[in-house]
Amino acid sequence: MSVPIHGTCDPDFAGLERTFVENFERNGELGARVAVIREGRTVVDLWGGYTTTDRTEEWRDNSLVCCHSVTKGIVALAAHLLASRGLLDYEAPVARYWPEFSANGKTSITVRQALGHRTSLAFIDAAVPGDILDWDVFVAKIAAQEPNWPVGTDETYHSVTFGFIVGEIVRRIDGRSIDRFITEELASPCDAEFILGCSDDDLRRVVAHIPNPANDLMNGGLINEQTLRMFACMPDSPEFLGSDASLQYVFPSGNGVSHALAIARLFSPFANGGRLGTSTLFLPEIVAKASEEQWHHRDSVFDNDFRVALGLLLHIPFNWWGREGNVGTAGAGGFCAFADPVNRISFGYTPNRYTTGAGMGEEPRRLIDALYASL
């Protein structure tokens, strides 16, 4: 089977390129992009395959895809940028920046707990379908919510509320909405296309997701009887999920649109001591704090293994970053990006067909293993 593959790859990473091709030829990949940046230089940027199941449209260098919960990691980077500027204190109560948040026993919840998925605000009792389409309405309901259980116990991944909580903290400090802040303060300096709230022009380049019955997370591991309450605020129309309309509003927990090279660029400063070229984007001490483990156990709601840093995820089999010490972000379906501060490498991967197997899936793991075999 001949699959169109485009882009560039440093000869030192020829093994990764072979694996990228093999994912198409042997493992069912339909369309994807993979990127590696080393010490600020792009050493791998490959894209290939097709954007549709009938294989009539090729993946292009400007194709975009919704990266699901990778979005949470980018929102967390926005908070870490404010911390690097001395505007955000991880140990401060959230209510210092967002006074309404103190309601119903939340006075002492800290920014660290918010970034670490430890606020016990996974379920919003007053939520009704469509709440996430109105930022002010939904964050007001979050602020009014009593913790679901004692804060700091029985941690669970805040699949929906995380981006709104951290995004509102950013907005209260800076004044700009989280989408505008990310565009102006992260994506633009990093020359990285990352979009929250697509325009009509953006949508023309967005590649549709292709279901894969062999993807564990998208077939019961994400939305099931245990987790369903988290998603009560989502529009209840089956046609909405994955539609153009679903990408045109700002959902800071899951509808960021991007591609592999862009998300690798966003994590490149974390791989280089906080530096972006000759300037410092993140203070080195903030990079270190952001990468500290907050909790690691089997999530009692999702029944998946999580190892959580401050808004980011650490290396475990469930989200495989190749080596201990790496830190990144992942989206159900296989989308992922991480930084390796030892080898000064950042990595990004964005498919259109959901990956195969558990966690982030077999396809990115093969690529990551090939990356480390090339070093």
Burial classification of residue 71, based on how many CB atoms lie within 10 Å of its CB (0-12 exposed, 13-18 middle, 19 or more buried): buried
Does position 106 have pLDDT exceeding 70, yes or no? yes
What is the Cα 128 distance to its own chain's centre?
25
pLDDT for residue 224: 82
Which of these ranges, 72-86, 191-205, 213-227, 340-354, has the smallest mean pLDDT?
213-227
Cα–Cα distance measured from residue 344 to residue 154, given in angstroms and rounded to the nearest whole number: 34
pLDDT computed for residue 88 by the predictor: 98
Options 3.40.710.10, 3.40.50.2300, 3.30.700.30, 2.40.50.220; CATH for 5-374 is 3.40.710.10
Model-level pTM? 0.97
pLDDT tens profile 230-265: 999 999 888 887 899 999 999 999 999 999 999 999
- Which pLDDT tens digit goes with each residue over 133-151? 999 999 999 999 999 999 9
For range 354-375, the mean pLDDT: 97
Asked if residues 104 and 145 have their Cβ atoms less than 8 Å apart, the reply is yes
Reported as a pLDDT band with limits 50, 70 and 90, residue 1 is low
C-alpha closest to that of 66 among 305, 351, 341, 283: 351
- 334 pLDDT more than 80: yes
Average pLDDT over residues 287-314: 96
